[in-house]
Amino acid sequence: MNLSLLIIIPLAAAIAVLLSRNGQQVKWISFLSSIAQLGLSLFLLSAFMSERANGNVSQMLFEQRYSWFAPLNIEYYIGVDGISISMILLTAFVVLAGVLMSWNIEKMTKEFYFLLLLLSLGAYGFFISLDLFTLFFFLEIAVIPKYLLIGIWGSGNKEYSANKLALMLMGGSALVLVGIFAVYFMSGIHSFDLLKLSEAHIAIDVQKIFFPMLFVGFGVFTAIFPFHTWVPDGHSSAPTAGSMFLAGISMKLGGYGCLRVATYLMPEAAKEYAPIIIILASIAILYGAFATMMQKDLKYINAYSSVSHCGFVLLGIGMLTKTSIEGAVMQMVSHGLMTALFFAVIGMIYERTHTRKVEELGGLLKIMPFVCSVLFIVGLCSLGLPGFSGFVAEMTVFMGSWQNPEMFYRIATIAACMSIVVTAVYILRAVGKTAMGPITNEHFLNLKDAAWNERLAAIVLVLGIVAIGIAPFWLSDLVSPGAELIVNKIAGVIIY
Amino acid sequence: MINELLLMKSELAVTAVIFILLFIKISDTTSNETVLKIVNALLLLNVAFGFCCMDTTGELFSGMFKTNALMSFEKNMLNIGTLLISLLSYEWLRNHRHLPEFFVLMLSSLLGMFFMISSGNFLIFYLGLELSTIPVAALCNFDMEKKQSSEAAMKMIMSSAFSSGILLFGISMMYGTTGTLSFAELPMLLTGSPLQVFSFILLFTGFAFKLSVVPFHLWTADVYEGSPVAVTSFLSVISKGSIVFIFLTTLYNAFAPMGEVWYNLIFLLSVATMIVGNLFALRQQNMKRFLAFSSIAQVGFILIGISGGGQNGTASSVYFMLVYIFSNLGAFGAVQLISSFSGKETIDSYKGLYQTNPLLSWVLTISLFSLAGIPPTAGFFGKFFLLASGAEKGNYILITIAALNMIVSLYYYLRVVRAIFMEKNEQPVAAIQGSIYEKAGLLICVAGIIAVGLYSHFYEYIYALSAF
């Protein structure tokens, strides 16, 4: 299994898009490439599982390693474990759905798809990198396409949102950059190799300074409080596929980085700072949930609820138990699929009714049954109904959090649990008002239900959500060795 | 004899080109287009010639003139830059009355830089420096009809005379305290006495003026704005590059014992330079002024690389200059093309550029992204290596300030990108049909921006050369 294909396929498709002649070609190239990406990641999953079944216990599989900038020991070094594979799967699902959802883009089609593919390339590269330089390289590659996607194809106050997003994310990656240098020089081994670095000992004083940098740096991507403000603006201004990519993939880059780089490389500091992370995460969860209650625009509702849901990711990481970290990863996957689907549905509704205001919508179930059924599914998933992925993931986080016996952790867990109630309120209100009740506008009567591309996109994502919801064990089995490794590392840590 | 000539091959080649141009000027019958063809062919030959027998190492005139593979490479970089400038200013030069003089002056300045880079002694260094700055002052005045251009030339000559004076003062005191002007003998005679430190600071100030390091940057914006774009790009890329190279040589070799002093100076000045350059760039409306301030900020980053010292310091700075040549010339090339076809130079007039000139917009955007340090452009790698070189000293305050400054700089680079791609304009710049020269120039810039970064052998090659 050649992992580089995950980078080569989007790259080849992006170049092909640039060379293609018309919009039709562009769309089909992107579509085929995203099908290929999905196929490849499913194949990767099965290859990975069969390797593991055959008793291959090395930490990373399918490794590739080439020297890149020899004087600085920089390598193109890739490999995957269960955590990265679940992220890759998520990316592949969202990319396919995103490409399908942008089928009707008329303005600058070629550029649009080029940027989408570039973004997916960055995400894949980030998730498979085992070299900090390569990882950072791909992290930054994924920023600028978002800026252009929002700025050119967005709506509303798009330039402001695009600027804010780009600058805040770049600010995050600037902190990451400093952290990477510190790890490189202070570990004493002058290497960017993630596995080697995890074995090298970094002095606790150094960790105390640079762990927050790395964690907050990645945290900005995943909307850590108080650096979450780009999320509502960015999501609401972005075009449908842009929001899907942003919430579904881009926010996961941060969570993955917090886990794989910050926590994994500096476990002592992670333990030291865990209470602060938990407080910030709890604030994000509750604040996000309450802020959502006040929103009137469907996109803002989903954006603020993303802040709340991503809080669970950080909470799971901050709790530092095996189950909670597993839960964090599952929440990343679940939230990625769910929120992408939510934005897709909002996109479908907006494209037809030209409004996203909840109060102007109503009774859509009779007019577009498919769209509204999907809306129900995604709403129920978001509020954590059993049978969907949201329940599984949040439940795992809570279970993991409860394993911490101290009062402080218990209180934080209870506080986070309370957000579920709030979530139920805003989700049921928004979904109910949109789908049911009287038809608020007679123009709505002429609207059509979802087209083939929209149906396909929705079905792909619903399949993912249900697959995790009904049979969560394959995902948790996939994730748990990676989570265990991190926890063991922390358990072996002596606090000075 | 042949060997000695080979040591000076870059200088001799440039001198030959200058003489050919002088003959052309005397004959005075050839049309501008023919002259441009000849010049570009000659410059291309010059670049090609530069790459043969690169690894000749040796010295001439009892150590006054030194060369090695790294210096040859640096000279080749400047050669490439000069060729690119000549290609990119085709449209502007086509109708210029004093075409051969332009090239004679530019190449004389280049010759001065070559001598400066190769100097092993303060005397020849000073000669090279003067030879490289005085023709540029004349070049600044090459938009003959514009008052601003003369003003720029005046400011240029005044500030460079002033800085040369300070430099010379420093050199003379250095001679007074050590009794030598040779770079090779200086380290042994440096005692770190207050007078020596003082004279070193004067010397450093002279360099800082030429590099437009804050607080010695005030001449830059006015000169850059007033001069023709070709001269601005020559000043900001070639001229700056040569100073960086000789700065490296003097600091790392001649003033190695004063490491502590110059490290602290560089630390303070690079922070000031990055912050001030970035803050001033935020509000600029004129593209040339904008690029002037952004290039001041870039110097701040180069200083971080220099502060690292050793092989990493040399390699990262030289590598960044290579990246900078392509990125900045790409940006200036696009600006020049737009300016000479439509006369527009403000950021506002770039609104809607993508609708009329998609390819040119991409070239400008890629160049700006490279200047901002966004992957996969070479600028990302350049900045990363500069910061890595600085971080080696363990000064993370400096690195953090630099990293945060990258965000500020991204803000203003994105301003231009936003104007190009997102904002609407009633009268966008009309579609531009550049000549083959300009297309070739921009193509080389973009290819350089992509290849120099991703293809790691460039850096590894420079790193190997930096062992000298």
Cross-chain Cβ contact B460/A71 below 8 Å: yes
- Answer whether A175 touches B (CB < 8 Å): yes
Give dist(CA A238, CA A115) in Å, integer.
13
For the stretch B57-73, pLDDT in tens is 888 888 888 888 899 99
For the stretch B136-172, pLDDT in tens is 999 998 888 888 888 889 999 999 999 999 999 999 9
- Answer whether A164 touches B (CB < 8 Å): no
State the residue range of the domain holding B368: 2-465
User: Tokens 């358990």 appear where?
Assistant: A491
Other C-beta atoms lying within 10 Å of the C-beta of residue A24: 10
Cross-chain Cβ contact B410/A167 below 8 Å: yes
A493 band by pLDDT with thresholds 50, 70 and 90: low
B30-44, B289-303, B380-394: range with lowest mean pLDDT: B30-44
Which chain B residues are within 8 Å of A74, Cβ to Cβ?
456
Q: What is the DSSP string of B355-421?
A: HH-HHHHHHHHHHHHHHHT-TTSHHHHHHHHHHHHHHTTT-HHHHHHHHHHHHHHHHHHHHHHHHHH
- Answer whether A189 touches B (CB < 8 Å): no
A193-197, A323-327, B35-39, B52-56: range with lowest mean pLDDT: B52-56
For the stretch A39-86, pLDDT in tens is 999 999 999 888 888 888 888 888 888 988 888 889 899 999 889 999
Q: Does position A496 have pLDDT exceeding 60, yes or no?
A: no
Tokens representing B312?
Answer: 């990493």
Which chain B residues are within 8 Å of A162, Cβ to Cβ?
418, 422
For the stretch A157-208, pLDDT in tens is 888 999 999 999 999 999 999 999 999 988 888 888 888 888 888 888 888 9
Cross-chain Cβ contact A174/B407 below 8 Å: yes
Q: Does position A354 have pLDDT exceeding 90, yes or no?
A: no
- Answer whether B391 touches A (CB < 8 Å): yes
SS3 A103: coil
Best interface-test mutation with B: which of A69, A107, A184 has the largest number of B CBs within 10 A? A69
The per-residue pLDDT for B29 is 72
Cross-chain Cβ contact B403/A174 below 8 Å: yes
Instruction: Report the percent of chain A where pLDDT is more than 70.
Output: 99
The per-residue pLDDT for A13 is 92
The per-residue pLDDT for A70 is 86
A13-17, B5-9, B379-383: range with lowest mean pLDDT: B5-9
Q: Does position A138 have pLDDT exceeding 90, yes or no?
A: yes
Give dist(CA B159, CA B395) in Å, integer.
33
Name which of B311, B315, B418 is nearest A159 (Cβ-Cβ).
B418
Which chain B residues are within 8 Å of A167, Cβ to Cβ?
407, 410-411, 414
For the stretch A362-393, pLDDT in tens is 878 888 888 888 988 898 888 888 888 888 88
The per-residue pLDDT for A203 is 85
Residue B310, min C-alpha distance to chain A (Å): 13
Length of chain B: 468
- Answer whether B411 touches A (CB < 8 Å): yes
| Rounded average pLDDT over A297-326 | 90
Q: What is the pTM of this model?
A: 0.93
Give dist(CA A469, CA A461) in Å, integer.
12
Which chain B residue shows the shortest CA-CA distance from A170? Answer: B407
For the stretch B225-249, pLDDT in tens is 888 889 999 999 999 999 999 999 8
Q: Does position B327 have pLDDT exceeding 90, yes or no?
A: yes
Report yes or no: B421 and A148 within 8 Å, Cβ to Cβ: yes
Cross-chain Cβ contact B403/A177 below 8 Å: yes
Residue B257, min C-alpha distance to chain A (Å): 25
- Answer whether B394 touches A (CB < 8 Å): yes
Pick from B195, B205, B193, B187: nearest CA to B265:
B205
| Rounded average pLDDT over B275-292 | 89
Q: What's the domain count of chain B?
A: 1
| Rounded average pLDDT over B298-313 | 90
Tokens representing A284?
Answer: 């994000």
For the stretch A241-283, pLDDT in tens is 888 998 889 899 999 999 989 988 888 888 889 899 999 999 9
Give dist(CA B467, CA B69) in Å, integer.
10
Boundaries of every domain in chain A: 5-491
Cross-chain Cβ contact B463/A144 below 8 Å: no
In DSSP terms, which residues pair with A129 in a beta bridge? A78
Letter for the amino acid at B30? T
Cross-chain Cβ contact A152/B422 below 8 Å: yes
Instruction: Report the percent of chain B where pLDDT is more than 90.
Output: 40
Name which of A133, A152, A174 is nearest B406 (Cβ-Cβ).
A174
Cα separations in angstroms, B374 against A136, A141, B36: 11, 7, 35
A38 band by pLDDT with thresholds 50, 70 and 90: very high
The per-residue pLDDT for B110 is 94
Residue A148, min C-alpha distance to chain B (Å): 8
Best interface-test mutation with A: which of B418, B423, B446, B462 has the largest number of A CBs within 10 A? B418
